[in-house]
Amino acid sequence: MSQAQLHESDFVAPAAVDNIRRRSAVVGVVATVLALAFAFKWPDAFFRGYLLAFMAWLGVSLGSLGLLFVIHLTNGRWGLVIRRILEAAARNLWLMAAFFIPLYFGMSRLYVWARPASSSLEPAAREHLAWLSGAYLNSGFFLLRAVIYFAIWGILVLLFTRWSREEDHAGNNSHNRSKILAGPGAVLFAFCVTFAGIDWVMSLDPMWASTMYGLIILIGQLLSALCIAVITASILARYKPMSELLQPGHLHDYGKFMLTFVMVWAYFSFSQWLIVWSGNLPEEISWYRNRLLGGWQYYSLFMALFHFVIPFCLLLSAQLKKSARSLVRVAIWLLVMRFADLYWLIMPTLSPQKFDFNFFYLLVPVAMGGFWLALFFRNLRTSPLLPLHAPLTQAVLEPAHD
């Protein structure tokens, strides 16, 4: 089949996607009603769960945008097959911008710098916190930075998705524009993700800072997005046209990327720990001390084993990476571990004395995830699953039509 003969109707997402979308919306509505019913009784737990949910689902959208940069810069076949999936996920950034609003109004429930200075703090700590609140960590500047982050991310998503749809028309030069934007856009994107991670998660403990923190957030988002893309592609591969597009070679490439991201996440996490350990400063070790006492030490060991050691060993297998069923199982597990990692980053700071778990920590992410997935699958239905006139489209189609 030549590119001139390609029709959008031949590459639309299957109707089964609408069933998943409706079910996701129902789950989102039901979970939201349950969460709001108890939110007024336990507001602190609700907002902790809300921050966890927000960072988890925002990470999938941002990670998808990050992978789009990689795809346009490398121009590989592997990226063409899941590009529209990533675009659909990235377009959910507008939804996440709306979800930020309740988080802003619940700041005082989460961030110590958003509350009146506590008399329980030592004078030096109160003075440092007062300086931070005046210079950087204050509600007005906090909101302004969030608006800037979402505006930059939103513009990047808008340009990439608009040019991608224009590319579906034969002879359009949108691919070149996307490739030109990908380089500087990736740098701007990385800066925004880094500072957003500092604002929304690291500032939970304003007395602690790490130069590696933003990179840990960033690589986790890329891994989350890739896992969602692999799972979605596997679902779509039960039907045409994805059943003819997704090949074992593509799966092998996705598995190699997953292995890479797992290794880089472990490297960044270990590097941060090593820097803090070698410095051995009281104001720095407190962050890790909270994660090594009160039951959190077992959770930390769980993270090391199941976010790195076991996935690393599994993804070394070339046979596993070429098997859709096996790779999807690993992707689902890694997606769970991404949620667990965010839990590890957030909750010990808010509950340092003992391991803390509340039903809100699952209910709110399920509620938010229901709406995120509903919009995501709706987005999938608005454009062909394959860019029809991208430079490598014919090469991707050849295995299916030779």
**Confidence check: pLDDT of 181 > 80:** yes
Per-residue pLDDT, averaged over 213-239, amounts to: 96
Q: Tens digits of per-residue pLDDT, 28-75?
A: 999 999 999 999 999 999 999 999 999 999 999 999 999 999 999 998
Give me the pLDDT at residue 165, please. Answer: 87
* pLDDT band for position 121 (cuts 50, 70, 90): low
Tokens of 317: 């297998």
How much of the chain exceeds pLDDT 70, in percent? 93
**Which residue carries 């969030």 as its tokens?**
146
State how far the Cα of 339 lies from the Cα of 56, in Å rounded to an integer.
6
State how far the Cα of 83 lies from the Cα of 220, in Å rounded to an integer.
19
Per-residue pLDDT, averaged over 122-150, amounts to: 82
Mean pLDDT of the chain: 91
Q: What is the pTM of this model?
A: 0.94
Per-residue pLDDT, averaged over 209-235, amounts to: 96
Q: Are 251 and 227 in contact (CB under 8 A)?
A: no
pLDDT higher at 8 or 224? 224
**Confidence check: pLDDT of 130 > 50:** yes
Q: Are 50 and 399 in contact (CB under 8 A)?
A: no
Amino acid code (one letter) for 190: A
Rounded to the nearest 10 degrees, the angle between the axes of helix 93-105 and helix 360-380 is 150
Give me the pLDDT at residue 119, please. Answer: 47
CA dihedral (173, 83, 236, 13) in degrees, to 10, reads -40
**Confidence check: pLDDT of 125 > 70:** no
Give me the pLDDT at residue 3, please. Answer: 53
Instruction: Tell me which residue of 139, 106, 95, 85 sits closest to 35, measured CA to CA.
Output: 106
Q: Are 255 and 315 in contact (CB under 8 A)?
A: yes
pLDDT higher at 135 or 210? 210
Per-residue pLDDT, averaged over 336-360, amounts to: 93
- Residue spans of the domains in the chain: they are 3-401
Q: Are 333 and 311 in contact (CB under 8 A)?
A: yes
State how far the Cα of 225 lies from the Cα of 230, in Å rounded to an integer.
9
Neighbouring CB atoms inside 10 A of 159's CB total: 15
* pLDDT band for position 173 (cuts 50, 70, 90): low
Per-residue pLDDT, averaged over 235-249, amounts to: 92
Per-residue pLDDT, averaged over 178-201, amounts to: 95
Kindly give, in sequence order, each residue whose CB lies less than 8 Å from that of residue 2, ignoring residues fewer than 6 positions away: 394
**Confidence check: pLDDT of 232 > 90:** yes
* pLDDT band for position 402 (cuts 50, 70, 90): very low
Angle at 218 (CA atoms; ends 213, 220), nearest 5 degrees: 100
Per-residue pLDDT, averaged over 82-102, amounts to: 97
Amino acid code (one letter) for 43: P
**Confidence check: pLDDT of 2 > 70:** no
**Confidence check: pLDDT of 118 > 90:** no
* pLDDT band for position 401 (cuts 50, 70, 90): very low
Q: Are 192 and 218 in contact (CB under 8 A)?
A: no
Give me the pLDDT at residue 137, please. Answer: 87
How many residues does this entry show for the chain?
Answer: 402
**Confidence check: pLDDT of 280 > 90:** no
